[in-house]
Amino acid sequence: MTNQTLKYSPEDPGVSEEKLDAFFTSYVNGDLKPFLKSADVPDNWDAEPVKILTGKNFKEVALDESKHVFVEFYAPWCGHCKKLTPIWEDLAKKFESVENLVIAKMDSTENEVEEVQVQGFPTLKFFPANSEEIIDYEGDRSLDDLVKFIGKHVDLPDEKEEEEKPEVPKEASKKEESKEKKDPKKDEL
């Protein structure tokens, strides 16, 4: 898919017939790199459950083939984005212990990336591990539906395995053992 919102800027300052000719030739040949806005990466970009992406760390995080990455491309002024914020945070908290899953967000008013064309806010994209595919999320923006979507695309650890088994006091376990050792004929009487 071609991104119609990409902008191109001449690398060489000044205007001349030769520079314009070289610029347009590069564009037509596909050699011209687009001009993409990017905010600086915050020092604490990965301190919270929802990771913060910018144009400068997008490829490193979202295209990391060892991880599944679910990204919200948002605008700070967008009402739908503001409504999604607490749900997105709950989603990230729910899966915070899943090492190969990243829940992230990118302010698309300050950052642009070649790989994603944002036409509306919020735009939700899923980048599966070990794949170059980008999956558009088009479902409901409820926590339950987002969790189901992740469950379809990520092998999640079994919740039962993750829960710690409660410790049985030694006295209780001894009682259980003694019940098992009873003679079944005595129980019939």
Q: How confident is the model at residue 18 (pLDDT cuts 50, 70, 90)?
A: confident
The DSSP call for residue 64 is -
Q: How far apart are CA 125 and CA 113, in angstroms?
A: 13
Give the residue, 156 or 128, on which the prediction is more confident: 128
Name the CATH superfamily, with its identifier, for domain 50-156: Glutaredoxin (3.40.30.10)
Sign of the alpha-carbon torsion through 75, 144, 68, 119: negative
Q: How confident is the model at residue 174 (pLDDT cuts 50, 70, 90)?
A: very low
Domain-by-domain residue ranges, the chain?
1-35, 50-156
Inform me whether the pLDDT recorded for 146 exceeds 50.
Answer: yes
Which pLDDT score, from 0 to 100, does residue 179 have? 46
The structure tokens 């950052």 sit at 111
Which pLDDT score, from 0 to 100, does residue 15 have? 82
b/e code 116-135 from CB counts within 10 Å (16+ = b): bbbeebbbbbbbbbeeeebe
Inform me whether the pLDDT recorded for 183 exceeds 80.
Answer: no
Inform me whether the pLDDT recorded for 166 exceeds 50.
Answer: no
38-97 pLDDT, tens digit per residue, is 899 999 999 999 999 999 999 999 999 999 999 999 999 999 999 999 999 999 999 999
